Amino acid sequence: METHSTAVAFGGTQTVHTHASKVCGCDMTFAVYMPPQAKAGPVPVLWYLSGLTCNHTNVMDKGEYRAHAAKYGVAIICPDTSPRGDNVPDDDGNWQFGSGAGFYLDATAEPWRKNYNMYSYITQELPELVAKNFTVDMKRQGVFGHSMGGHGALTIALKNPDTFKSCSAFAPIAQPTTADWSAGAFAKYLGDNPELWAEYDATLLIENGRRFSEFLVDQGDADSFLDDGLRPWLLKDACEKADIPLTLRMQPGYDHSYFFVSTFMEDHIKWHAERL
Amino acid sequence: METHSTAVAFGGTQTVHTHASKVCGCDMTFAVYMPPQAKAGPVPVLWYLSGLTCNHTNVMDKGEYRAHAAKYGVAIICPDTSPRGDNVPDDDGNWQFGSGAGFYLDATAEPWRKNYNMYSYITQELPELVAKNFTVDMKRQGVFGHSMGGHGALTIALKNPDTFKSCSAFAPIAQPTTADWSAGAFAKYLGDNPELWAEYDATLLIENGRRFSEFLVDQGDADSFLDDGLRPWLLKDACEKADIPLTLRMQPGYDHSYFFVSTFMEDHIKWHAERL
């Protein structure tokens, strides 16, 4: 693991690292914020999964998480959203597939299956690396994310309820198998296999019996992707039928940007810290 | 004045605007955050002046000011750092002069004098535009900034103590007339005229009799520009001799980046709000 940059912030340390990923077949870059409490011993870990087109820098620059991570004493890990590089197949010009659009799944179709394995990367390979290199308590992990990363957080929590103690999302894609901006990617990554698609869809996972302790979801009501891409009411229906407590807050006037995410960042970090 | 973008954040509104500037002879872009309190009536105005290479976006993305502006009820105005455009002379590849390096002065030398008039822009033209278009109380103005913008804040406050009620700075260039990264620009903008140079140098302005009520300055002790460019001890000496109260805080481990600025942003906004 190579460390690119280190900066003190809010009494803790913001760093950026690159490592050779086996499951993605390329070098992967991620950002880590360690709060000041880590100087005294292991701290809980909160995974932030970013949205379409993002890499680790978007939330590092605009997410405003460090103040609250320092206040509540949690480490924040910000991975990339896909494999990248000259040897990784891509679909140039398509922002909803390929680079920046890994959808937190393990691809099964050619030529994507060799590299596009973000589910295994986030749930297995990167946690092992983080556990080995940082002062973290891996028994206290939470996951949250934005948009495509909200989908990632919800599905990863539902499939790994013993690993992740808490889950929240900003404007998540509630049902990616049928949403405008994700169904096309699912078809390419996973082929014509509806059962496999359902393994990466929060609403369908719940309908098919997966459970999680509770969710917090914030959603701007002025979000231009609300009706076609996000549709939190589908998640709400599924949670109600499954008796999963869901705190869904429609935030008046907010759009899909990091102006929205940063506004509610403290609420989410506090929510996780109370449960970790 | 044209409005490019509007987003709700922390209950207030972050907008970006462009207007035709007379004193800069080009279109100029600036960002405005209006806190929720502005819905009830005029709020104080806090001018944030950015550093070398920046435009309005750097602090808008990374400064983390909105949470605190909303909490303390102040508007934050973030101007550009120089004129820009095809018709504006520039010195390509020089990050310490020309585009992104206006140094908050009015140039007197050719060919720069037609456009590089950031002092008049920040103290006259832009305040008139802001007063006309936003719910602000121009009797309650403060100014702060980072690096070159810290120099701008200090010099503008010292020359306009009746307009600005409060002033603070993050890692300011304390004596730009003799600092490595600014003396060259002063020579080009102002020619071989030491008396004119002194009009844009905080330390020399104080030595030459200008006064201000008090300053707050934060400076990282791991800032790589500390010894050659910033030198806060020169400002400290001048303030002590002139009986100007200066709160100079050396922050251990912090560098020159927005990780440093954002960490102490709340302290500064609170400092201004208490004085406005």
What is the per-residue pLDDT across A173-213, written as a single tens digit (0 to 9) for each? 999 999 988 999 999 999 999 999 999 999 999 999 999 99
Q: What's the Cα-to-Cα distance from B150 to each of B145, B170, B230, rounded to whole Å?
A: 4, 6, 10
- Domains located in chain A, CATH noted: 2-275 (3.40.50.1820)
Tell me if B7 and A257 make a contact (CB, 8 A cut-off).
yes
pLDDT at residue number A181? 87
3-state secondary structure of A73: coil
The answer to whether the pTM exceeds 0.90 is: yes
Residues of B (135-194) whose Cβ lies below 8 Å from A: none
Residue B181: pLDDT band with limits 50, 70, 90: confident
Report pLDDT for B244. Answer: 98
d(CA A181, CA B227): 52
Q: How many CB atoms lie within 10 A of CB B3?
A: 11
The nearest CA of chain B is from the CA of A69 a distance in Å of: 12
Q: Does any CB of chain B come closer than 8 Å to the CB of residue A1?
A: no
Which pLDDT tens digit goes with each residue over B184-206? 999 999 999 999 999 999 999 99
The reply to whether B250 touches chain A by the CB within 8 Å rule is: no
DSSP state of A36: G
pLDDT at B242 over 90: yes
Are residues B6 and B15 in contact, defined by beta-carbon separation less than 8 angstroms? yes
- Do B8 and A61 count as a contact with CB atoms less than 8 A apart? no
Residue A255, Cβ neighbours under 10 Å: how many? 21
Q: By the 8 A CB rule, do B81 and B52 touch? A: yes
Mutate which: A259, A261, A266, A269, vs B, most B CBs within 10 A: A259
Reported ipTM exceeds the 0.90 cut? yes
State the residue for tokens 């390419």.
Answer: A188
- Residue A147 annotated to the active site: yes
What does the pLDDT read at residue B210? 98
Is the preceding peptide bond at A161 cis, omega within 30 degrees of 0? no
A267 interface with B at CB cutoff 8 Å: no
The separation between CA B207 and the C-alpha centre of its own chain, rounded to angstroms, equals 21
Instruction: Name the residues of B annotated as catalytic.
Output: 147, 223, 256
Contacts of B9 in chain A (CB under 8 A): 259-260, 262-263
* Average pLDDT estimate for B32-39: 98
Do B83 and B101 meet the contact criterion of CB atoms below 8 Å apart? Answer: no
Tell me the C-alpha distance between B200 and B156, whole Å: 8
Using an 8 Å Cβ cutoff, are B220 and B262 in contact?
no
Contact A82, A178 (CB under 8 A): no
Phi-psi region of A74 (alpha: psi -120 to 50; beta: other; left: phi over 0): beta
- Calculate Rg over the CA atoms of chain A: 17
Query: A39 — contact with chain B (CB < 8 Å)?
Result: no
Contact (CB<8Å) A67/B262: yes
Q: Among A61, A66, A263, select the one facing B9 at the smallest CB separation.
A: A263
Residues in chain B within 8 Å Cβ distance of A220: 8
Report residues of chain A scoring pLDDT below 50. Answer: none
Any B CB within 8 A of A14 CB: yes
Residue B4's contacts (CB-CB under 8 Å, 6 or more residues apart) are: B15, B16, B17, B18, B29
Section B29-53 average pLDDT: 98
Write the pLDDT tens digit of every residue in B141-157. Answer: 999 999 999 999 999 99
B7 in contact with A at a CB cutoff of 8 Å? yes
Cα pseudo-dihedral A76, A80, A81, A82, rounded to 10: -150
pLDDT digits (tens, 9 = 90+) for A184-194: 999 999 999 99
Query: Distances from the Cα of B213 to the Cαs of A224, B172, B246, in angstroms?
Result: 48, 18, 9
Query: How far does the CA of residue B45 sit from the closest CA of chain A (Å)?
Result: 21
- Using a CB-CB distance cutoff of 8 angstroms, which residues of chain A are in contact with residue B253? 8
* B14 bridge partner residues: B7, B33
The distance of B8 to chain A (nearest Cα, Å) reads: 5
A67 → closest Cβ in B10, B64, B253: B64
Going by pLDDT thresholds of 50, 70 and 90, the confidence category of residue B180 is: confident
Contact by Cβ (8 Å): B126, B77: yes
Cβ A75 vs Cβ A34: under 8 Å: yes
Q: Which DSSP letter does residue B13 get? A: E
Q: Which residues of B touch A264 (CB under 8 A)?
A: none
